[in-house]
Amino acid sequence: ATVAGGGGSGSLASPITAVQPEGEAPDGTVESVADKVLPSVVSIDVRGQTGRGEGSGVVLAQDGLIITNNHVIAMAATGGQIEVRFNDGSRAPATVVGTDPATDIAVIRADTDRSLTPIALGSSSNLDEGQAVAAVGSPLGLSGTVTTGIVSALDRPVRAGGAQSDQNTVIDAIQTDAAVNPGNSGGALVNMNGELVGINSAIASLGSGNSGSIGLGFAIPVDQARRIADQLIKQGFATRAVLGVSVSDQPDIDGALVRTTEVGGPAAQAGIEEGAVITMVGERLIESGDALVAAIRSRAPGETISVTYAARVGDQPTTVDVVLGEAR
């Protein structure tokens, strides 16, 4: 009998006769995507007064502007150090340009003289369920990690930023089954052209703690993320669309129950009052309070939307146009 690997032409000690092809990967392949995207994704190491954290970021501009999640750099916002590690292994300190906890977006600037490689920006408006995507980031500190999957669902209301999150941190997320683990936060979700379609932000896990990927990852759509990032860069703060209501869930009610309305606010001006049940925004079904928050947050201030609601539980629905307000 022949012992596997023991001498002969198949031995590991044999001369290497074949060369692994490199580069020139066909467009649309995972290899091609990795070639395009990896130079534009960084690892982020954060040291604050309360501890240390890590995450990922995406290069927006040659001069060092990087988008990430607010929860990645939050501990350094009030005093701490941020260091970014580039794909070639080099490092640079970074400072906070602006943060927006409500959308879990932050922008930092790497202090470096080198010309960085900005990511190609795509759009999240034309994503389809089942579309192939790749996640690029630093899960568990493993920088430059590429995982692949599909868009599992769109318009998924998710509370970002950890266990302390509430309705103030609801994001209107892209759901993906690309493996996303702690440390991927702030990294890139890209399409098969290597274009940014989302910022990976949250993971679901079984049980308590960070138990890793179970096929449920969530990303902030790039159309929302780039609007927030642009405001943070230009003015240091971001604004968001508001309907002018506070809402909650109610057992046996499909919709968002309006608890209070802001006097003179967008909803009140459109005739939506306390006790109303909002069931649709545009063509989008609203099944919970979080779903309404996510739907409104995905829009821009000043945008006109249609809102379908019942004045009271059991009443016939009414549809009205609402001009969304603006808040910081």
Which of the residues are catalytic?
71, 104, 185
Q: What's the token pair of residue 124?
A: 């999240």
| Residue 56 near residue 37 (C-beta atoms within 8 A) | no
Q: What's the token pair of residue 191?
A: 């399409």
Q: Which residues pair with 241 in a beta bridge?
A: 326
CA dist 266 to 210, 239, 314, Å? 40, 16, 24
**Residue 191 to residue 153: CA distance in whole angstroms:** 15
Q: What's the token pair of residue 321?
A: 């146009």
Range list of β-strands (E), 204-276: 217-221, 240-242, 245-248, 256-261
Among 178, 171, 170, 173, residue whose Cα is nearest residue 216 = 178
Task: Measure the CA dihedral 219/119/121/223, to 10°.
Answer: 40
Q: What's the token pair of residue 46?
A: 């954060």
Q: Which residues of 279-304 are buried (b: 16+ CB within 10 A; e: fewer)?
A: bbbeebebebbbbbbbbbbbbeeeee
| Residue 155 near residue 295 (C-beta atoms within 8 A) | yes
| Residue 110 near residue 84 (C-beta atoms within 8 A) | yes
